[in-house]
A and B are shown apart, each in its own frame.
Chain A
Amino acid sequence: GGDEKNSTENKSASDAGKEIRVGVAGPFTGAIAETGTTIKNAVLLAEEQINQAGGINGKQVKLDLQDDKADPKEAAAVANKFASDKSILAVVGHYTSSTTLAGAPIYNRVGLPHIGIGCTSPAITSAGPYTYRVLTSDAYDGEYVANWMIEEGFKNIAVAYENDDYGKGLADVFKAKIESLNGKVVAMEPYNLGETKDFSAILTKFKAAKPDSLFIAGQYNEAAMLLKQGKGIGFKLPVFGSNGLYSDALIKLGGADVEGLKCVGSFHQSAPSQEAKDFIAAYKAKYNQEPDIWAAYAYDAANILFAAIKNGGEDREKINEYLTTLKDFKGATGVTTFDENGDCMKEPLKLVIQNGKFELYIK
């Protein structure tokens, strides 16, 4: 639910002009609430920073946080709530591809611009003119990891994927790329986010297919369980993953069993840019912990919207016009440019888990 001190329950007409209201939709409870929490932390940080700097056009920014529980139906309800509240100028969110796709038609119907923060499904490319995202599409990432694995010399690859927009989209792109590079996907098994806990069937099938490496297209929770259960039945291989795995929670849950795992992401503590350094420092100061990638994306999304409101105008349509032409926005996750579909173009980082930490991968 919305944090009481930040969401404004009673907004009378007179208030509406005095403050700038932006919606934030994320999985604050439910299966991936941990991610929701870092998103919440990051946007609240962005809010605090902009208000300390005098707000936008002299007005204070007020975020309205709504919980979509990573559930598309809830997402539609949240989208409806934002869409019908005229004082909401733009929205940060949603997080997953499914929730973004559920909300997008509603936002697009009323012309409310929104920036997705974790949704990487290729389907979002064509979700509508008011839909944006701060991270690259799976079509891009999947091919990137496929290239990487072939470069590392792997040929027979098993794929475990989360059975939804995110995982399936990624796995499909990945498989096509591997095959075009003369590699082989020897087994491909789906599991359900937040539901599957027993990976023994999947692992047994993998084992029988005799792969030389494993690619996981999904989230950290399942990846940790998969690898831990794999150890139990004697299944241990080099593992690559998508950006969904890039979370410290993976290491917390997986412990020694995720050591050596490689994945992609576009933000890292030791990233060179000044924006990233500043963000990490501020986040640490406020919350006394390291931000993860989703915090960085959420932070960037919020700041892009603040910039759009400032430079475009306090009007949904004007904000959207600004966003369509956004170019080279420098943020914690690198340089963001939106293409004509609202898709993001930026180069991911290669990462590896070493000694219980994500490190930049250097061959």
Chain B
Amino acid sequence: MDVFFQQLVNGLTVGSLYALIALGYTMVYGILKIINFAHGDILMIGTFIGLVLVMNFHLAFVPALLLAMFITALMGILVERLAYRPVRAADKLIALLSALGVSIFLVNFAQLVWGTETHPFPVNISGEPIILGEVHIGTLQIWALGVSLLLMVGLHFFVNHTKMGVAMRATSFNVDYARLMGINVDNIISITFAIGSALAAAAGILIGVYYDAVYPVMGYSAGLKAFTAAVLGGIGSIPGAMLGGLLLGVLENEGAAYLSSGYKDAIAFALLIIILLIKPTGLMGRREQQKV
């Protein structure tokens, strides 16, 4: 049972980080209907920015986190301007390719600047772990869980209860109709990218600190998992992304403990497929009602 609870804690920790990244996928998908394959790499750059701020500029953790989120948000806007806006009218697959191009570019850029090796992220978030029986809950885990939940709740409120949020959802349905409402669609899209990228930077830094490892291809697996989580929860749905992330984290960690750690990811994907077959729009995805 100790193993079960320890893995539950571990699963919730990673899960909340998946969820945070998944939100970025979901928001961009919601609005542009493209899977932003560069999202994971934006996360990676954000993490490196955080690392540079801590190591070279000697900022404390929280200011570094916030500043990195801000810089990454700007970078998200820039990426959207350069790589997505020009192909917005084209086939969705074209935008997907553009995203892939950005992804490849960012990874190799990071490799040139910071090398291919793994860097430690030496942040001292000290404090003794909470020990319940044999279960350890690290300070970092509490941090990761706390920060992600806070950001998620904030985002949920923003999207559902503000005028900008409704405008965002309107834009996600149809850009031209949104324009006719007087919505500045370009701004809305920029804001979406900014928020998604900032959340990714936050998640990336927490991941970097949690595993004490920052490296250029870190966005790949984080991105893949988060994307899976977003679909699991119902892509386009914000609560879905949270649920999907947490669920994925817990399931794969319990799966790794009780089945085989080698098949850990396979378990996650098999579950995803089964859930989608039962509920084709993910756990919380609203079916886009299409009347004929």
Contact = CB atoms under 8 A, between A and B. Distances in A.
The answer to whether A and B touch in the complex, with CB atoms under 8 Å apart, is yes
Contacts of A200: 6-7, 10, 14, 253
Interface stretch (A29-37, A85-93, A329-337): A29-37
Contacts of B117: 33-34, 249
A232 B130 CA distance: 11
A195 B221 CA distance: 8
A8 interface: no
Nearest to A252: B120
Given A197-B221, A201-B7, A253-B120, A229 B257 contact: no
Nearest to B134: A207
B116 interface: yes
A291 B16 CA distance: 42
B247 interface: no
Considering residues A197, A201, A225, A255, which has the most beta carbons from chain B within 10 angstroms of its beta carbon? A201
Contacts of B115: 33-34
Contacts of A228: 212
A208 interface: yes
B3 A232 contact: no
B174 interface: no
Nearest to A33: B116
A163 B262 CA distance: 9
B261 A232 contact: no
A204 B213 contact: no
Given A197-B218, A200-B253, 18 more contacts: A29-B111, A31-B217, A190-B261, A194-B217, A197-B211, A197-B213, A200-B7, A200-B10, A200-B14, A201-B261, A201-B264, A202-B261, A204-B6, A208-B2, A221-B213, A233-B6, A233-B136, A234-B131
Interface string B241-279: 000000000000100110001101000000000000000
Contact of A201 (B111, B140, B217, B253): B253
A25 B200 CA distance: 37
A286 interface: no
Contacts of A205: 3, 257, 261
Contacts of B101: none
Contacts of B140: 232
A201 B116 contact: no
Contacts of A232: 129, 136, 138, 140
Nearest to A34: B117
The 4 A-B residue pairs with the shortest CB-CB distance, nearest first, are A201-B256, A33-B116, A200-B10, A233-B136
Contacts of A189: 261
B118 interface: yes
Interface string A30-61: 11011000000000000000000000000000
19 contacts: A29-B116, A31-B116, A31-B217, A33-B115, A34-B115, A34-B117, A197-B218, A200-B10, A201-B10, A202-B261, A204-B10, A225-B118, A225-B213, A229-B211, A232-B129, A232-B138, A233-B136, A253-B120, A253-B213
